[in-house]
Every structure is written in structure tokens, then in C-alpha cells.
């Protein structure tokens, strides 16, 4: 019984470490794409500002000509190249965009790991039974010969 448990734990650990490495890579790729999307949205607000100087953004992106305190993208003012226009991204906007995707991925991976470990356990039980039957048959064969 201890050998089956060790094999199952080793398989589960191998799966978990493998998916951990995959999750790390996936997180950085997803982060890069979300950052690009946020940049393009900020750039779109800057373009709207260059067309209409009264444009001040929306609830997620605010335009300012003063140096902001939070995270912001800096663009040159189209009317005066010596001034900057700052597109301030609302705090927490990045997290709100990436969190649902990460949750879905982690939930799917949990289900995948759980089902693979259960399948591995069933296969291991069947193989273990066959080994035991073979061992019993070998013992009976040896006893009949002696």
C-alpha cells in the first residue's frame, strides 16, 4: 500500500510542479498582452484628446496635463511639443482585467490535475491487481512443482 501511495504522490507532485512552471510562463505572457491592451486604450484616449482638447477620459483613464501621482502613460502635447499629456490609468484596472483569466485557468488546471490523478490511481489499481494475481499464480506454480 505504501508503494502505491508513493507513486500517486510522486505523480501528483510532478503534475503540480509542471503546471506551476506552465502557470508562471502563462502569467507573464498574459500580463504582457493585458499591458499592451491597456497601452493602446490609453493611446486611444490621447488621440481623442489631440482631436478634442476638452476630452478628459472615462472612469478608467483620466487625462491630465499635470504630473500624476499614480501610474500614467506620457505623451507629447500635440499643440505644444514642450508640454506633456498624461493618461492616468485607474488603480486596480490592470488587476481587474487579468484576475478573471487567471482564475479560469487555475480552475481548469485544478480539475485537470484532479482528474489525471484519479485516472492514474485507477490505472495503478488495475495494474497492481494484475501484479498481485501474477505473484499469486507464480507462488501456486512453484508450490505445485515442489
Under DSSP, the state recorded for 59 is: S
pLDDT, one tens digit per residue, over 63-105 is 988 888 888 999 998 888 888 999 999 989 998 989 998 999 9
Radius of gyration (C-alpha) of the chain in whole angstroms: 30
E-strand ranges in the chain read: 61-64, 72-76, 84-89
Coil, helix or strand at residue 57? strand
Question: Rounded CA gap, 82 and 46, in Å?
Answer: 16
| C-alpha 22 chain-centroid distance | 8
pTM of the complete model = 0.72
Cell 478628459 -> residue: 56
pLDDT, one tens digit per residue, over 66-76 is 888 888 999 99
pLDDT at 4: 81
Residue 45 has pLDDT above 90, yes or no: yes
Cell 498582452 -> residue: 33
Cell 472615462 -> residue: 58
CA-angle at 49, arms to 45 and 53, nearest 5°: 155
pLDDT at 1: 59
> So where are the chain's domains?
2-145
Question: Rounded CA gap, 97 and 33, in Å?
Answer: 11
Amino acid at each position: 500500500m505504501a508503494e502505491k501511495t508513493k507513486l500517486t504522490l510522486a505523480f501528483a507532485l510532478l503534475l503540480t510542479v509542471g503546471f506551476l512552471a506552465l502557470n508562471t510562463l502563462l502569467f507573464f505572457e498574459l500580463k504582457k498582452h493585458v499591458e499592451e491592451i491597456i497601452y493602446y486604450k490609453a493611446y486611444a484616449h490621447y488621440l481623442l484628446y489631440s482631436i478634442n482638447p476638452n476630452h478628459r477620459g472615462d472612469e478608467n483613464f483620466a487625462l491630465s496635463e499635470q504630473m500624476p501621482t499614480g501610474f500614467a502613460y506620457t505623451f507629447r502635447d500635440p499643440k505644444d511639443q514642450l508640454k506633456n499629456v498624461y493618461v492616468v490609468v485607474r488603480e486596480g484596472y490592470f488587476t481587474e482585467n487579468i484576475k478573471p483569466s487567471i482564475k479560469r485557468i487555475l480552475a481548469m488546471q485544478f480539475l485537470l490535475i484532479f482528474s489525471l490523478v484519479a485516472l492514474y490511481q485507477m490505472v495503478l489499481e488495475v495494474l497492481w491487481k494484475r501484479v498481485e494475481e501474477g505473484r499469486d499464480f507464480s507462488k501456486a506454480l512453484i508450490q505445485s512443482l515442489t
